[in-house]
Amino acid sequence: MNQRTTRSRYVEMGFGRRGGFWAGVVAVLSGIVVIVLAVLFSALFLGLFVAIAVGVMVRAWLLGRSKPSQPDVIEAEYTVVESAESQRRRKP
C-alpha cells in the first residue's frame, strides 16, 4: 500500500500534477494561449490562401471574358481591278 501525507494529498488535488494549484493554473493558461494562437494563425493562413485563390479565379474569369466566343472573321467588300498586265499573264 502507498502511504500518503497531507502534503502529497494536497499536491495531487491541485490539477493532478506536482507543483500545486498555481502550477496547474499556469499550465492551463499556457494551454489556452497556445490554442488561441494556433487558431489565430490557422485562420490567418486560411484567409491568405482564400484571398490568393479568389484573385486567381477573378483573373482567369477576366481573361476568359476578353476572348471573343466566335472565331475571328473579318467581313468586308472588295472590288476586283483588272489591268492590262494581269490580262497578259492569263493568256498563255
Residue 47 covered by a domain: yes
Indicate whether this model's pTM tops 0.75: no
pLDDT at residue 69, rounded to an integer: 63
Residue 45 covered by a domain: yes
Residue 30 covered by a domain: yes
Alpha-carbon gap, residue 34 to 41, rounded angstroms: 11
Query: Which residues form the domain of 33?
Result: 6-68
C-alpha cell at 80: 476586283
Residues with pLDDT less than 70, the chain: 1-18, 67-71, 86-92
Indicate the SS3 state at residue 44.
helix
Residue 22 covered by a domain: yes
pLDDT at residue 1, rounded to an integer: 44
Alpha-carbon gap, residue 48 to 41, rounded angstroms: 10
Residue 34 covered by a domain: yes
Please give the tally of structural domains in the chain: 1
pLDDT at residue 42, rounded to an integer: 96
The residue assigned the cell 477573378 is 58
Q: What is the amino acid identity at position 42?
A: S
Residue 40 covered by a domain: yes
